[in-house]
Amino acid sequence: MDLLLSGLDILARWDVVLALLTGSVGGVLIGAIPGVGPAVAIAILLPATFSMDPIVGLTVLLGIYGSSMYGGAIPAILINTPGTAVNALTTYDGFPMTTRGEARRAISLAYSASFFGGIFSVICLMLFSPVLAKVAPMFGSREIFLAALLGIILVVTAHRRQTLIAAALACFGIFINTIGLEPVKYSKRYTFDQSFLSGGIDLIVVVLGLFALSQAFFLLQGEDEKTRINRLKGGLFQGLRELARHPRVAGVSASFGVLMGMIPGVGEFTAQFMSYTYAQKTSKRPEDFGHGSSEGLIAAETANNAVPAAAMVPLLALGIPGEALTAMMLSVFYVHNVVPGPQLFQNQMDFVVALYLALLILNVMVLVFLLFATNQLIKVVKIPNRFLGVAILTLSFVGVYSLRNSVTDCVIAALFGVLGFILKRLSLPIVPIILGMVLGGIMEVKLRAGMARVKTFPDFFMDGRGDDASLRPIAVILFLLIIAVLALHVRRAWADHKELKEAKWSTKHSSTHIGAQLSRRRSFILAERGKKRRAERSMLSRRSTDKS
C-alpha cells in the first residue's frame, strides 16, 4: 500500500497529468493515421523528452506506445487499412462487419477489447512486482549478458524465413555501436581519424533515420488516396456489454499478450496469432472467423493491447529492451542517469509502480476519449500521405539537429533513412539494427565486467573456486534457454527446408504429369484426325469408282 501511495504521489503533478493527456490523445491520433505509427512519433519526440523529468518524458512515450493501437483499429475496421502494423489482424473481422453495416458495433467492440487487454496486463504486472523485486537482484553481470544475448537470438529467430538477414542486420547494429571510444580504456575504434566519429553514432540519430525519415521517403514516393468515411451513428457503449459475453476468449487472449510481451523479440504479432488461433479452434462458430466474427476481433485487439505493459518488464527489471519502442525509451532512462535493472527495483520501486499506474490511468483516459470523440477522430484518416511525409521529414531533421546542433548528424540520419527506405521496399526487418545497437552495448559492458573472475568456461556459471564454489542457477538456466532456442530454430529451419523441397518436387512432378497427359491427349487427337482423314479419302475413292 505504501508503494501504491508513493506511486500516486509521483503522478500527482500537473506536468505528469498533462503528459498523460498529451501522450494518450496523441497516440490515438498517430495510430489512426495509416502510414505513421508509434515508432515514427516516438522517434520524433525523443529529443524533446531529454529536457523533461524522467517520469514526464517516459509518460509521454508510454502514452503514445500504449494508445496507438486503439487508434490503429479505426482505419483497420472502417477502410480495411491498419493504422499500425499490429492492427493488421483486426481487418480480418473488423472490415467484414463494416461491409454488412455493423461499423459502430465493430469499433465499440475493438475499444472494449483493447481496454480490457491493457487493464488486465497492468494489474497482472503490478501484482507480480514484488516477485520481480526479489528476482531482479539475482542478476549479475554474467546473467544480464546472457539475457541480452538471449534477447538478440529471440529477435533474430522471430523473423522466420529471414533469419540470416535478421542476424546480419543485428550484427550491423552491434558494429555501429562499437564506433567511437570504447567504454573501458577509451581507445578509438573504427573512427578512421575522423573527429566526428570519435563520439560514436548516436542511437537517436539512427532511430530517426531508420524509422521516421524512411517512412517520410516512403510516403513521399507514393500517391495520395481519397478516402470516404461515413459518420458513425449511435453510442459506442455496446461493445462493453458484448465483451462480457466472451470472458474466456478475452481472458486467454490477454494472458497470451502478457506472456508474449515479457519475452524479448516476440511481441504483439505472436500474441495475436496465438490468441486468434485459440479463439477459432474453441469457437462454436469457427466458420465466421475472417467474415466478421466478434470473437476474432476480441482476440486480436485484446492480445495486442496487453503487450505494451508486459514489454516493460525486461526493460525495467534487466535494462534489456525487447523491441524497438522500448529500446527508444531506454535512451530516456540513460539521459537522466536512471539505470533500469535490478538496482531500479531495489532503490526506486515507487518509480516503477508510478509507471504502471500511468499505464492504468492511460487506458481509462483513452477509452473515455474514444467513446465521445470517434466521429471527429475519423477525419484524420483523410490526411494526404505526401503532406504527412513532408511534416515527418521536417520534424525529423529538426529533432536530429537539436540533439547536438550538428549538420553531420543530419547527414548520418539521412543515410540511415535511405537504408531504412531500401529495407522497407525489400520487405526486410529494421528492428534488429536498433536492438543490435542497444543490446550490443549492454553485452560488451557486462561481459567485460563478468570476465574479470572467469578463467575457464565453467567459471562463467560459478562463484568462487574449489570447495567454496557455488553454482549461479540463473546463468545456467539462461544458457540452457539459449541452447534450447537455437536447437528449436534449427529444427524448424530444417522442417521448413524439407517442406520447401517437397513443394518444389510436387510442383515439378505435377507439371511433368500434366505435360505427359497433354502429350498423350495431343497424340490421341492427332490419331483421331488421321483416322478421320483416311476414312474421308476412302469414301471419296469409292464414290469416284461408283461414278466411273
Q: What SS3 class is residue 383? A: coil
**Cα separation of 20 and 95, whole Å?**
31
Whole-angstrom distance, CA of residue 460 vs CA of residue 471: 10
pLDDT of residue 508: 62
**Residue where the block lists cell 502510414:** 35
Contacting residues for 420 by C-beta, under 8 A, at least 6 apart: 209, 210, 211, 213, 214, 215, 430
Q: Model confidence at 466, in pLDDT bands (50, 70, 90)?
A: low
pLDDT on residue 539: 55
DSSP-assigned beta bridge partners for residue 180: 189
Distance CA 148, CA 118 (A): 26
**pLDDT tens per residue across span 507-531:** 665 555 555 565 666 666 666 666 6
Tell me which of 548 and 81 has the higher pLDDT: 81
* Highest averaged pLDDT of the listed ranges 126-130, 157-161, 301-305, 350-354: 301-305
Structure-model confidence comparison of residues 97 and 380, the more confident one: 97
What mean pLDDT is predicted for residues 109-138? Answer: 81
What CA–CA distance (Å, rounded) separates 337 from 344? 11
- The grid coordinates of residue 465 equal 573456486
- Higher pLDDT: 133 or 306? It is 306
Q: How confident is the model at residue 267 (pLDDT cuts 50, 70, 90)?
A: low
User: What pLDDT was estimated at residue 418?
Assistant: 92
**In the prediction, which pLDDT does 280 show?**
81
Please say if the pLDDT value at position 232 is more than 70: no
The answer to whether residue 234 scores a pLDDT higher than 60 is no
**Range with the poorest average pLDDT among 180-189, 437-446, 478-487:** 180-189
pLDDT at 50: 76
Distances (CA, A) of 262 to 53, 238, 268: 26, 32, 11
Give the chain's mean pLDDT.
78
What distance in Å separates the CA atoms of residue 515 and residue 270, rounded to the nearest whole number? Answer: 42
pLDDT, residue 291, reads 79
- The pLDDT of residue 168 is 92
Torsion of CA 510, 516, 522, 524, to 10 degrees: -120
pLDDT-based confidence at residue 465 (cuts at 50, 70, 90): low
Percentage of the chain with pLDDT > 90? 2
- pLDDT at residue 366 tops 80: yes
Q: Residues 110, 95: contact at Cβ < 8 Å?
A: no
**Mean pLDDT across 39-56:** 79
Question: With 60 as the cut, is the pLDDT of residue 544 above it?
Answer: no
pLDDT tens-digit readout, 148-206: 888 788 878 877 778 889 899 989 998 988 888 877 777 888 888 777 787 788 888 88
- What is the pLDDT at residue 537? 59
CB 145 within 8 A of CB 163: no
d(CA 28, CA 377): 9
Checking if the pLDDT of 274 tops 80, the result is no
Distance CA 220, CA 419 (A): 16
Residues 6+ apart with CB under 8 A from 438: 173, 177, 203, 321, 327, 330
Highest mean pLDDT among 54-58, 144-148, 381-385, 417-421: 417-421
What pLDDT is attached to residue 148?
81
Domain locations along the chain? 2-143+201-217+232-435
Yes or no: say if 381 and 74 are a contact pair by the CB < 8 Å rule: yes
Lowest mean pLDDT among 36-40, 281-285, 312-316: 36-40
Q: What are phi and psi of 489, to 5 degrees?
A: -65, -40
Position 548 pLDDT exceeds 50: no
To 5 degrees, how large is the angle CA 228–CA 226–CA 372?
40
Could you read off the pLDDT of 410-438 as tens digits, one per residue?
A: 888 899 999 989 988 888 888 788 888 88
Task: Please compute the mean of the pLDDT values over residues 386-410 and round it to a whole number.
Answer: 82
Task: Mark 340-355 as b/e (b = at least 16 C-beta within 10 Å).
Answer: bbbebbeebbbbbbbb
Q: Which of 267-271, 426-430, 445-449 has the lowest mean pLDDT?
A: 267-271
Grade residue 29 by pLDDT with cuts at 50, 70 and 90: confident
Give me the half-sphere count of Cα atoms (radius 13 Å) on the Cβ side of residue 82.
Answer: 16
Please tell me the predicted confidence (pLDDT) of residue 510: 55
Task: Please determine, for residue 445, whether its predicted confidence score (pLDDT) is greater than 50.
Answer: yes
For 507, the grid coordinates are 510442383
